[in-house]
Amino acid sequence: MDLGIDDEVIAFREEVRSFLRENLTPEIQEAGRRTTSVFAPPGQAMEWQRILHRKGWAAPHWPEEYGGTGWSVTKRAIFAEELVRAEAPPLIPMGLMMCGPCLIGYGTPEQKAQYLPRILSGEDFWCQGYSEPGAGSDLASLKTFAESDGDDYIVNGTKIWTTYAHHANRMFALVRTRRDGKPQQGISFLLIDMDSPGITVEPIVGLDEVPEQCQVFFDNVRVPKANRVGEENDGWSVAKYLLMFERGGSEYAPALRVQLERLKKLAAERERNAQDQQARAFFRQKIADCEIEVLALEFTENRIKSELESGGNPGALTSMTKILGTELQQRIAQLTVEGLGIESLVWQPQAIVPASEEQPLAPEHSLVAMASYLNSRACSIYGGSNEIQRGIIARAVLGL
Amino acid sequence: MDLGIDDEVIAFREEVRSFLRENLTPEIQEAGRRTTSVFAPPGQAMEWQRILHRKGWAAPHWPEEYGGTGWSVTKRAIFAEELVRAEAPPLIPMGLMMCGPCLIGYGTPEQKAQYLPRILSGEDFWCQGYSEPGAGSDLASLKTFAESDGDDYIVNGTKIWTTYAHHANRMFALVRTRRDGKPQQGISFLLIDMDSPGITVEPIVGLDEVPEQCQVFFDNVRVPKANRVGEENDGWSVAKYLLMFERGGSEYAPALRVQLERLKKLAAERERNAQDQQARAFFRQKIADCEIEVLALEFTENRIKSELESGGNPGALTSMTKILGTELQQRIAQLTVEGLGIESLVWQPQAIVPASEEQPLAPEHSLVAMASYLNSRACSIYGGSNEIQRGIIARAVLGL
Amino acid sequence: MDFSLNEEQRMLQQSVAKFLGDTYSHETRRKRVREGSDLDGDIWRQFAELGWLALPFAEEDGGLGGTLVESMILHEEFGKALVLEPWLAAVTLSGGLLRLGDATQKKRWLEPLMEGRLQAAVALEEYGTDLSLTDTSVKARPDGSGYRLDGGRDLVLNAGNADILIVPARCEDTGELSLFVVEAGQPGVTVQAHRLVNGQSAGRLLLEDAPVSTESRLAREATAPLAAVMNEALLAMGAQALGAMSALLEQTLEYTKNRKQFGTPLSGFQALQHRMVDMFIACEQYRSLLLAATLKTNEGHEDAARAVHALKARIGQSGRHLAHEAIQLHGAMGMTDEMPAGHYLKHLVALDLLFGNSDQHMAELVADETITI
Amino acid sequence: MDFSLNEEQRMLQQSVAKFLGDTYSHETRRKRVREGSDLDGDIWRQFAELGWLALPFAEEDGGLGGTLVESMILHEEFGKALVLEPWLAAVTLSGGLLRLGDATQKKRWLEPLMEGRLQAAVALEEYGTDLSLTDTSVKARPDGSGYRLDGGRDLVLNAGNADILIVPARCEDTGELSLFVVEAGQPGVTVQAHRLVNGQSAGRLLLEDAPVSTESRLAREATAPLAAVMNEALLAMGAQALGAMSALLEQTLEYTKNRKQFGTPLSGFQALQHRMVDMFIACEQYRSLLLAATLKTNEGHEDAARAVHALKARIGQSGRHLAHEAIQLHGAMGMTDEMPAGHYLKHLVALDLLFGNSDQHMAELVADETITI
């Protein structure tokens, strides 16, 4: 049992830092600072991905043969932490974290050859068509239907909560291809060209007044069967494989740790003017409480990775890190608003759109803090709500 | 809308205080201080009841014709608060708060004449036979059976969690009198003489190492049918009536308010020696948080009483005060232990039995605090667990 | 002890609820928020015509002599409807301080305010410091018979709409904290207005050598009246928060009863039921706290200020609890601008952060523990 | 990064678990608690024979050179079984300090301690004050070549069983905080022993003009070594707490799966399921914290002490959470002496209150925020 912090690791951190100093432009950095949700501003995020791709660092978690880096778990965590610390925007996950792994696991050689390089390079912008109105966490009740028509499917229906559909040129979607049998068994996994005739995209305005989610309507949309990933009616397996793959990929602690450090810095600055020692103690207690949880989460994630690396299966433990990671994100976002106080009430969503020309009437970090806080409420809802995750733990871990 | 605090109320408080100064003996007061659960030491509590009874104050909540006081809601709250403040032990509730009201509502004139005066005076000591092993909050699954045999029933079975059965000379019990039909409809309400042949009482040792609960075994126990309250198979109505009656009776805020004041005094004393300002701020925050909740609960209880007095039905709101009252009791008990620190780890349960001759090795309030804390964990379990109460609110108030 | 509304109070409640039901559909309000319209002249005129603007003021001042109970009724409904109009700034705070003026001053400002012809604001907060009613960076320098004001204040509610702004300033000659009235647009007065997260507006007030005459001085030493008016404002905010919380609970119950998942209404899941019970309990306890603080203040009890601190502390704690849970139980729908839940959250956050947040009011409770509420 | 146990560690874990499985049935333990028997001579001798008492000590001192990882393994099992024997006082604290002695002192005390022939205690706490490793009311007055000790300390763990007691005392001549060894029963030394809520024992130590020679002085200036040994003790307590928490979770799952209400196993109720999930999460997060604190201390990281404070803070918070929920989910059965749940609660409460409770360790975290763990 050891923490395994050695010289190689220290040198790697220096390598990442030096790359960031040289390659992260002020414009991209600004977009990073102005990212108020899981999803960074798309233009700058894709530009940043292209820069990382040139270095070969766009998808560290992919197998090396497809363009991954082959880094150890520790190095990947350091990479993630340094990116956040340098204020780099997070990469848009739909291609790199979701569609790519599905193709790696289930795609035909042709699909892999056609799509994977374009995912890595950022030439394609993907969106995810899973949820439907009336079927949020309950994917088995999907209604969008793909009717067989020779070599094609004809797709009708609608998808909702499709992040950045209005920016995407491709969608990976779960659609129903059979009307009878068990609900989960008649679903297929399709790759859909967003330029296809019959697709309409309607942005949905969120609490931050910036449209990020969309509803997508399909009216007799023709999709070649060659764009199906996996067997017909077996889309559920592809989707589940992605969940498995994600287990090694998504880590909350590195970003939380950086956010926490910033919050502590903010608290220290504020305190110079705060008269009230008691109120200060209460606030700092809440920060310390988050700090303990972030440390514990870091080690929980380490335990999972250590288990994965030694060939074990951490199973539903990742449901636990999803719950903890998102709840901590929400707490830190809220504490940041509390720490900034009334300044964070100033509301100018357009002023923090990257490269905006609207004059900000409060410091950038105040404007960002409120939008981040509001958007943080989503992270316990999306990606399998935290209630669903508790249900998974109850069944799969505790045997209830 | 007003708080209605007037001269009459102030004078009444003075009257109660002066009565307490003259009648509450040091021995009874000691038993009050050494009460570590809902149930005071039986000897001193019954002695105190006899003293209150002489004044006519043993059952303020009973109708005046049976010996109640006819006080307003405000006066009853003041009375309750002053008793706690004077360290009087709470009266044993099984007769005054439970069996008495059932008899008032459902008893025959003979039963009322025979039992009510002896409940008031404390000549009879009652215990409650509701729960059975395997049927805690789920009373419909009772198994203890009363077989008809001429003018008598023959009772067989067992009751558990019967508080002070080893001190009681009477029990009111729910027993099954029919084997078929809906489970709730075959239950009858019986008054059982604890001296009857065939009854065995086995005390159960609790976390404080002092037996308070018992299991009671019935082996062919003969009970006259004249001791049945209400109709045969209609015991459920009697038990429900008691729940209705209790709504006006049980109040948590007056006692909590006094306990809170004591906790604040303790905190202030401790702080004189506490070096750590931060830790002190955290502790006081928890106290202030309780204070807010106690104030809110006081007004919630006031709202319920105001509703009752104007003929309304507060309904399941009392499930809410049960939840809040018990959880606050637990929090204050825990904070008291935290405030006392390591002193409260000294364990001498026998030294705080009233009139004990064992030499205490820590201050009385430290020895009492730990037992009170441990016992406080019971109050969210007994009397309809807080989970059951949440279920009642979900159904009856929120319509879920 | 009596918690029932009298006949007039019931009528007031009904008429406020009816008026807001007619004018404040969620869609209309959303549109106004998008357009940055936090003050609708028609609505404000109707407030005046219905007599509400005169409600909190004494009869000798031409008001209707309403008590804090009437104010509570009004603001609970305002909170339910998420009223955008700047009542708190114009009526509760400004009106409350204009009561301090002499006859001439009242005629000049209070009368048109009650008639809906004057908008006002009070400059109370500064970025980066805790709220303090006595510390201010605004200085009043004696200048002949009057003063010159210098300094700045932030997040002055309603500043952009206000005809007059009431400014607490430290007089350099006497050391007193005096209240001065400045006019929007007068020399030396600059206002930079902006929206707030809850759809209302505020602004930064900059005073540069702004002349004020002695006729513009509302009060020589304003520490005590400021505290009293602040308590009234906190109670009004507390009532708005209750309106918001109870609406959140109601809408969540409604939503979960109708929305199905895995073939069952969401309201059928026991884990969600217990969470809604906890929302209900938090809401009812908060309602009790509001009653306690309002009645204790109304009747002048010695522990009244403590109860107000308790109430304000819980705006942040219980308010966020209700709003967070409501959004979570609405699922992805809860994150849309289309559903009211997020709008209630935004208002509750504003109510929490304005005039000292939860921690600061908890700290006030902890600072003096000799009284128990 | 590697979190797996090596072969020897796995064997240690198995042998501790097996030994305790054989000797520590809940019934046997209950009987011992009732009789006030916190130290069973046979068990202690077997501890020695199994080599465990020598485990934490350096090989040059005759020990087995175990690291903090071995200690963690041992104490997690101790916590599961609720071992009554005074390991913490005798081995971790006393043994930890006896390592400071010179060769003669080690031979005199450490050797018999490792062989199970000597019981020891350290006098660390005083009622009514926060734990401080540097403040003490015990004074050492120079007296010829030695000192005379005066003062008192409370809740000295294992005091009633101890052959020797280690006392930190402030020397009046040099101002140093020195460690002295006094013998039970020597002139000027009185011990008043009593039970603790968790079934272990402690006592009040009274020193009245108690003579100590320089050969009895373990260390001249003990502030730093005391802090180091305290950290080891906190880690051991932290591991015990994990054992207790995981046992509580396991027993609650077991109980609710078997106990039926309204015709369904309790474990079938979704509201209870989600609460058990939260117990599980708290337990796993706590396990991670224990790993973090243990490995950081073992490897000498600069944030190690901070991680230990975090761990100790959570003993009270997560420990009570687990125990309270376990009792609640056991229903009335949870309140009986017969079920283990209450016994775990008692031990967790003791672990929380000893050596600074949650608030005090949170305060340590807050006092220095320059480091992030």
User: CB contact, 8 Å: B390 with chain C?
Assistant: yes
- Residue A270 is predicted with a pLDDT of 80
Tens of pLDDT, residue by residue over C264-298, are 899 999 999 999 999 999 999 999 999 999 999 99
Query: Do C297 and C180 share a structural domain?
Result: no
Instruction: Say which of B267, B324, B387 has its CB closest to residue C281.
Output: B324
Q: Are residues C201 and C279 in the same domain?
A: no
Domain membership flag for residue B245: no
Q: What angle do CA C156, A272, A360 make, to 5 degrees?
A: 40
Question: Does residue C2 lie within any of the structural domains?
Answer: no
Residue % of chain A over a pLDDT of 70: 97
Per-residue pLDDT tens over the stretch A82-108: 999 999 999 999 999 999 999 999 999
Q: How many CB pairs under 8 A join A and B?
A: 18
Considering the domain architecture, whether residues D147 and D193 belong to the same structural domain is answered as yes
- Tell whether A216 and A287 lie within a shared domain: no
Inspect the interface and report whether the beta carbons of D269 and C269 lie closer than 8 Å: no
Specify whether C354 is located in the same domain as C230. yes
The model's confidence at residue C370, banded by pLDDT at 50, 70 and 90, is confident
Mean local confidence (pLDDT), B196-205: 97
Coil vs helix vs strand at B88: coil
Q: What Rg do the C-alpha atoms of chain A give, in angstroms?
A: 22
Domain range for C330: 224-367
Residues D363, D228 share a domain: yes
Q: Which of A91, A117, A149 is the last residue of a domain?
A: A91
Whether C372 is covered by a domain: the verdict is: no
Among B47, B246, B271, B343, the active-site one is: B246
Strand D120-122 versus strand D164-171 pairing type: parallel
Structure tokens at A217: 């309507």
Number of domains in chain D: 3
Task: Say yes or no: D271 contacts chain C, CB-CB below 8 A.
Answer: yes
CATH value at residue D61 = 1.10.540.10
Same domain, A290 and A217: no
**Does any CB of chain D come closer than 8 Å to the CB of residue C270?**
yes
Q: Is C261 on the interface with B (CB under 8 A)?
A: no
Residues 6+ positions from D223 with CB-CB distance below 8 Å: D133, D134, D177
Return d(Cα C149, Cα C142) in angstroms, integer: 9
Give the gap in angstroms from C-alpha C108 to the nearest C-alpha of chain D: 53
- pLDDT on residue A136: 65
Are D94 and D27 found together in one domain? yes
pLDDT of residue B249: 55
D1 occurs within a structural domain: no
Report whether pLDDT(C141) > 70: yes
Residue C277: closest C-alpha in chain D: D271
- CATH code (residue A337): 1.20.140.10
Residues A170 and A230 in one domain: yes
Whole-angstrom CA distances from B314 to A4, B310, B393 are 63, 11, 12
Query: Which residue in chain D has the smallest CA separation from C276?
Result: D271
- Assess whether B262 and B307 both reside in one domain: yes
B265/B190 same-domain check:
no
Of B146, B135, B131, B223, whose CA–CA distance to B179 is shortest? B146
Q: Are residues B390 and B279 in the same domain?
A: yes
The rounded mean pLDDT for chain A is 92
Domain that includes residue B47, residue range: 7-91
Please say which residue of A239, A260, A283 terminates a domain.
Answer: A239
Query: D186 and D299, same structural domain?
Result: no
The domain boundary residue, chosen from C100, C118, C136 = C118
SS3 of residue C261 by DSSP: strand
**Whether residue A33 has pLDDT greater than 80:** yes
User: Has residue A246 got a pLDDT over 70?
Assistant: no
D55: helix, strand or coil: coil
**Chain A residues whose beta carbon lies within 8 Å of the beta carbon of residue C353:** 337-338, 341-342, 344-345
Residues A226 and A267 in one domain: no
What's the whole-number mean pLDDT along residues A363-389? 94
Mutate one of D262, D264, D269, D274 to test the C interface: name it (highest C CB count within 10 A): D274
Per-residue confidence band for B181, with pLDDT thresholds at 50, 70 and 90? confident
Instruction: Please say which residue of C70, C86, C118 terminates a domain.
Output: C118
* Residue A269 sits in the same domain as residue A316: yes
Residue at B244 is within a domain:
no
Nearest CA in chain B to A286: B282
Would you state the pLDDT for residue A249? 55
Closest chain A CA to residue B285: A282
**Per-residue pLDDT averaged across D164-174, rounded?**
97
pLDDT bin (cut points 50, 70, 90) of residue B5 is confident
Any domain includes B232:
yes
Nearest CA in chain D to A3: D1
Would you call C9 and B1 a contact, using CB atoms and an 8 Å cutoff?
Answer: yes
- The reply to whether A87 and A219 lie within a common domain is no
Exposure class string for B308-342: b at 16+ Cβ within 10 A, else e = eeeeeebebbbbbbbbbbbbbbbbbbbbbbbbbbb
Q: Is B289 on the interface with A (CB under 8 A)?
A: no
Which CATH number is A178's domain given? Answer: 2.40.110.10
Residues C79 and C126 in one domain: no
Tens digits of residue pLDDT in D114-146: 999 999 999 999 998 888 898 999 999 999 989
Chain D hits for B270, CB-CB cut-off 8 Å, are: 128
pLDDT of residue D371: 78
| Residue B275 predicted with pLDDT over 90 | no
Regarding whether A383 and A284 lie in a shared domain, the answer is: yes
Alpha-carbon span A149 to A155, nearest angstrom: 10
Q: Are D212 and D234 within one domain?
A: no
Block residue for tokens 């874990």: D13
Q: A342, C367: Cβ pair inside 8 Å? A: no
Q: Are residues D204 and D339 in the same domain?
A: no
Inter-chain CB proximity A136 and C332 less than 8 Å: yes
* Total number of domains in chain B: 3
- Check if the beta carbon of residue B63 is closer than 8 Å to that of residue B386: no
B186 lies in the same domain as B140? yes
Residues 97-156 on A with a CB inside 8 Å of D are none
The reply to whether A299 touches chain B by the CB within 8 Å rule is no
Between CA A31 and CA A364 the distance in angstroms is: 12
Of the two residues D218 and B7, the one the predictor is more confident about is D218
Q: Is the confidence at residue A344, as pLDDT, over 60? A: yes
Q: What is the pLDDT of residue C324?
A: 98
Confidence (pLDDT) at B234: 93
Q: Is residue D2 part of a domain?
A: no
Answer whether residue B379 is part of any domain.
yes
- Domain stops at, among A91, A117, A150: A91
Say what percent of chain C tops pLDDT 70. 100
Using the CB atoms, write b or e for A114-123: b if 16+ within 10 Å: bbbeebbbbe
Q: Say yes or no: A3 contacts chain D, CB-CB below 8 A.
A: yes
Closest CA in chain D for residue C275: D271
* pTM score: 0.96
Q: CA of C312, closest CA in chain A: separation in Å?
A: 14
- Does residue B112 form part of some domain? no
Phi, psi (deg, nearest 5) at residue A171? -130, 140
Is residue A140, in this structure, part of any structural domain at all? yes
Which residues neighbour C209 within 8 Å (Cβ) at sequence distance 6 or greater?
Answer: C148, C149, C150, C187, C188
Whether residue B223 is found in the same domain as residue B297:
no
Q: Out of A114-128, B300-314, D58-72, which region has the weakest mean confidence (pLDDT)?
A: B300-314
Which of C68, C87, C118 represents a domain boundary (last residue)? C118
Q: Is the pLDDT of residue A304 over 90?
A: no
Please tell me the predicted confidence (pLDDT) of residue A312: 74
- The verdict on residue C373 lying in a domain is no
- Is pLDDT above 60 for C42? yes
Report yes or no: C12 at the B interface, CB cutoff 8 Å.
Answer: no
Answer whether residue D262 shows pLDDT above 80: no
Determine, for residues B274 and D130 on separate chains, whether the beta-carbon distance falls below 8 Å: yes
Residue B276's pLDDT is 78
Residue C1 lies in a domain: no
Task: Give a yes or no: residue A120 inside a domain.
Answer: no
Is residue D258 situated within a structural domain? yes
- Domain with residue C161: its CATH number is 2.40.110.10
CB-nearest partner of A1 from D277, D278, D295? D295
* Residues 6 or more apart in contact with residue B380 via CB below 8 angstroms: B323, B326, B327, B330, B386, D328
Please give the share of chain A, as a percent, with pLDDT higher than 90.
Answer: 77
Enumerate the residues of chain D whose CB falls inside 8 A of the CB of residue B278. Answer: 362-363, 366-367
C217 and C126 belong to one structural domain: yes
Q: Does B252 touch chain D (CB under 8 A)?
A: no
Q: Tell me the CATH number at D351.
A: 1.20.140.10
How far is the C-alpha of D158 from the C-alpha of D136, rounded, in Å?
Answer: 19
Same domain for C164 and C274: no
Amino acid residing at A258: V
**What is the residue-averaged pLDDT of chain B?**
92
List, by residue number, the catalytic residues of A: 246
Instruction: Tell me C88's DSSP state.
Output: I
pLDDT tens sequence across D36-52: 999 999 999 999 999 99
Q: Which residue has the higher pLDDT, B245 or D105?
A: D105
In chain D, what is the straight-line distance between the N-terminal and C-terminal CA atoms, in Å? 17
Interval D347-360 mean pLDDT: 97
The answer to the question of residue A262 being in a domain is yes
Q: Is D269 on the interface with C (CB under 8 A)?
A: yes
